[in-house]
Amino acid sequence: MRDSARVLRRATVAANAAAVAVFFSAGVHAEEGSRYRPTDGSKTLLLLPAALESKTATFFEEGSADSVARRAEEYTDLARRSSDARYFGRAQALITPWLNRPDLPPRLLVAAADLAQQRHEFIHSRQLLDRALAAEPRNAGARLMRANLGLLAGDFAAARADCLAVIQADALPGTICLASALTGPGSLERAHGLLAALDCSAPGAAAYSHWRVLTQADLALRAGDTDAAVQFLERARTLDPAHEETRVRLAAALLERGESARALALVDGPNVSAALLVARIRAASLIGDAVATAARREFDALLTIGLRRGTGTHFREEGELALYVDGNSVRALELARRNFAAQKDTPDLRLLVEAAIAAHDQAALAFAREWLASSGFEDRVALERLREAGA
């Protein structure tokens, strides 16, 4: 269960954004801006953390499936903590030689699914998790990672089924998961009630505190209470100061309140991802800071390198730049549509709605309104914006 809890925290808190609405998934795509080529073999290219340094000598040696999975998990965790995508590559290199084997153990399948989710290969990730759960139905980490994929796809019934299966074994993470998967009128209040009833002093509760607070922040945003969302996000940042999604969400909320300088300070620093760069560009542009130009160059370089490596798309981030910085509503809506086809987190819905409003696109407005009605997803801010636009 300890291993399952670790996989759970990695799957739901990282990928995905305010919660297992975590809805995030999507992972870190940090890339280097320019390639350094050493002039001789004595140059240092990379300093590994001590915990991983000893593994480099046997990196390509074949070990047991369990040891390969464990090392891949360590590299994946390190990639997320450091925003350095090279560690994702190391994890994938460890796992790839095993993927064609028919008898992969669940732990290796879950590690591979986590990497596939990070690359936005959501269908492939779900297939790997299906295989893991067929072999080990009580694997809580796999259940919750699959629930996260259901949330991203807007398949809330499937997500709830996985959350409820986890509750039978471990009520705390299963309940946090379920709070994100509730739909229909009054679902925000019901979700808040579930989270408020949790015993945060219970053994093991601290391990899930960050995820729980992120979930509460997402619920507050969807209810239209930006001030409460900021308070929750600030608490989440206290619990995990380096967590990327927390910083991105908090920066967006601060921008909504007109606090551009605070938002800019929040997303400053090296090894930034696409999402952090976009937040930096938006904040700097609003206050006329020259850092916006440098950040835009860095973002463009990241896109180029990502395309060359095949490490995934950045439709949400490109759409936000097109809408909020470039003022190109047509381009923003095109990107928002492509993004929403793949993932349906709260920021993805908000981008689609705002781009459709800016572009005066009635078909897109109607689509967003119909999706809210058919899915039961409760976002009162998005719904009110659609009503104001006549949808």
pLDDT at 379: 98
**Residue 212 is encoded by which pair of tokens?**
């729980």
**Residue 213 is encoded by which pair of tokens?**
């607070």
Token look-up 């809506």 returns 333
Is residue 135 predicted with pLDDT exceeding 90? yes
> What is the pLDDT confidence band of residue 341, given thresholds at 50, 70 and 90?
very high
> What is the pLDDT confidence band of residue 312, given thresholds at 50, 70 and 90?
low
Give per-residue pLDDT as tens, 25-57: 333 344 444 444 455 545 555 555 554 444 443
**Residue 121 is encoded by which pair of tokens?**
């290969």
Which residue has better confidence, 364 or 79?
A: 364
Tell me the mean pLDDT in the region 5-16: 37
pLDDT at 203: 82
* Percent of the chain scoring above 70 in pLDDT: 83
- Between CA 150 and CA 114, with CA 194 as vertex, the angle to 5 degrees is 30
Is residue 16 predicted with pLDDT exceeding 70? no
Q: Where are the domains of the chain?
A: 320-391
pLDDT at 259: 97
**Residue 211 is encoded by which pair of tokens?**
């995820």
Give per-residue pLDDT as tens, 90-105: 999 999 999 888 888 9
Which residue has better confidence, 1 or 73?
A: 73
Q: How far is CA 321 from the centre of its chain?
A: 18
> What is the pLDDT confidence band of residue 289, given thresholds at 50, 70 and 90?
confident
> What is the pLDDT confidence band of residue 201, given thresholds at 50, 70 and 90?
confident
DSSP code, position 96: G
Distance CA 50, CA 55 (A): 10
Is residue 76 predicted with pLDDT exceeding 50? yes
pLDDT at 382: 98
Is residue 140 predicted with pLDDT exceeding 70? yes
Query: Do residues 348 and 340 make contact, with C-beta atoms less than 8 angstroms apart?
Result: yes
Q: What are the phi and psi torsion angles at 368 (to 5°)?
A: -65, -45
Query: Which range has the worst mean pLDDT, 122-131, 309-318, 342-351?
Result: 309-318
> What is the pLDDT confidence band of residue 107, given thresholds at 50, 70 and 90?
very high
pLDDT at 304: 84
Which residue has better confidence, 18 or 270?
A: 270
Query: Do residues 15 and 25 make contact, with C-beta atoms less than 8 angstroms apart?
Result: yes
> What is the pLDDT confidence band of residue 273, given thresholds at 50, 70 and 90?
confident
Is residue 120 predicted with pLDDT exceeding 60? yes
pTM, 2 dp:
0.83
Query: Which range has the worst mean pLDDT, 113-127, 295-309, 377-391?
Result: 295-309
Distance CA 260, CA 285 (A): 9
Q: How far is CA 165 from CA 128, 216, 282, 324, 331, in A?
A: 18, 22, 41, 41, 42
Query: Which range has the worst mean pLDDT, 60-69, 231-240, 367-376?
Result: 60-69
pLDDT at 49: 53
Give per-residue pLDDT as tens, 246-260: 999 999 999 999 999
pLDDT at 55: 45
Query: Do residues 10 and 80 make contact, with C-beta atoms less than 8 angstroms apart?
Result: yes
